[in-house]
Amino acid sequence: MGLALLLSVALAEKLKWYELSNSYTFEKYLEHYGKQYKHEKEYKMRKAIFESNLHSILLHNKDETKTWKEEINHLADWTEEEFARVKGYNKRMALNSKLARSESKDKRVPPKPMKASDLPDSVDWRTQGVVTAVKDQGKCGSCWSFAAAETVESHWALAKGQLWDLSEQQILDCTSNPQHCGGSGGCSGGTSEVAFASIVSAGGLSSEWTYPYESHGGQNNPKCSLLSNFSTTAPVKISNFVVLPENEYLPLLTAVAAGPVAISVDASSWRFYASGVFNGCNQTNPDLDHAVQLVGYGTENGSDYWLVRNSWTPAWGEAGYIKLLRTSEVQCGTDLTPSDGSGCDGGPATVTVCGTCGILYDSTYPVI
C-alpha cells in the first residue's frame, strides 16, 4: 500500500478525541497504525510511552477550561528525541539569516500594514485553490523546506494560476550553508529564508514529480541533482523574498490576507492536538523549533485564530492543520536558548518572541 493511501486510510479511520478511553489498548493502536515491534525490549518501551501519553490526553480532555482537544495519533509511541526530529527549525541559523538580511542591499520592503478593520474578517486560502494537499516530512528535520516549498506553491498559483507540487528535496539537497549555522541544512534543519535564497540562486524550484522527496526516513542525500541547464528549464521561479517585521501583529495579518506565509513557531506542545483553538505553548519562555505555513485566520466559538498548515501528515490535527489563538494585543516571552545546537557564534543570549507559540517572530514569503 502506498504512502498516500496509507495516510488517507489513517485519516478516515483515526479515533476521534471523544471516542478515546482507557479501553483503547496499545495492541489496538499498533493494529490501527500498522505498526509492529518484534523485539520485546522495544515493545515494552513503546507501550510505556503510549500508555503515559494516553493517560495525559484523557486528563487534558476532561479539563473543561481547555479550548482545544487532544487525541492519539501516529506520534503517540515516539520518544522525545524522535519527536524533536520532526521539527527542525534552527534558531541559530535564523539569527544568522536575520543578521545577513539586515546587511543586504537587495531586500524587499514588505507592504505597509493595513488597518485590521480594512481586512476581511476571515481568510482561508485552502478554499481558493492555491494550497496543495497536506504533506509528510517523516523523521527528517525538513520542516523548513516544506514551509518554503508550500509557500512558493501558493504564491506561484496566485500569480500564474497554476498550482504545482514542488520539491522539498531540491531545497534539502541543494541549499548550501557556508557559515555552517546549525549544521549543513538538509535533515539537520534550516529556515525558510535560507530556502528562498537557495531557490533564487538555483534559478528556480523543481516539481515534486521530477525531484521527489526521499528523506522521509531521516536520511540526507549525498549530492544536489540539478542539471547544468536547470535555470532555463525550472518550472517555477522566484525573484526574491519578503521578510516581515518581527513580533508585529498587523504586518502578518496584512500579509496572510494577500497570500500564505512561511512562519516559525514553538511546536513542542502540538504533538497531540486534535481540534479547537490552541493556546498551550509556553508563552513565558517559548522555544522556536518548527517551520510551517500560515494559510489564513478566522474566529471560532468567540476565539480569534491563525490557521496553520503542518507537515506531519493529514492524520494529525484538523486534517493536518492547527488553529492558534490570535490576539491583536501582542503577548511576548523570552526565548532563553536562541543558540541551541552547534553553529554560528555571536548571536544574542536571549531573544524576544511574540504571539501565540512565537508566531510573530520570523515570517517570510517569496516574490514571484
CA distance 73 to 138: 14
Q: SS3 of 298, please? A: strand
Going by their DSSP bridges, the two strands 321-325 and 273-278 should be labelled as parallel
Count CB neighbours of 141 within 10 A: 29
Q: Residues 70-105, buried b or exposed e (16+ Cβ, 10 A)?
A: bbbbbbbbbeeeebebbbbbbbbbbbbbbeeeeeee
Which residue among 61, 73, 290, 357 is the active-site one?
Answer: 290
**Phi, psi dihedral angles at 23 (to 5 degrees):** -80, -10
Q: What is the gyration radius of the CA atoms in the chain, in angstroms?
A: 20
Region for 162 from its dihedrals, namely left if φ exceeds 0, alpha if ψ lies in -120 to 50, beta otherwise = beta
What's the CA gap between 291 and 147, in Å, rounded? 6
Cα–Cα distances (Å) from 224 to 170, 233, 315, in that order, read 7, 16, 31
Which residue among the candidates 140, 143, 354, 357 is catalytic per the annotation? 143
Other Cβ atoms within 10 Å of 233 Cβ, number: 12
Half-sphere exposure of 176 (CA within 13 A, CB side): 5
Rounded (10°) angle between helices 26-33 and 40-62: 100
CA atoms within 13 A on the CB side of 179: 15
Instruction: Examine the residue annotation and report whether 220 is marked as an active-site residue of this protein.
Output: no
Q: Which three cell numbers stand for residue 304?
A: 480569534
Quick check: is 143 catalytic?
Answer: yes
Measured from the Cβ of residue 251, the count of other Cβ atoms closer than 10 Å reads: 21
Choose the catalytic residue: 281, 310, 354, 357: 310
| Contact indicator for 294, 363 with CB cutoff of 8 Å | yes
Catalytic residues: 143, 290, 310
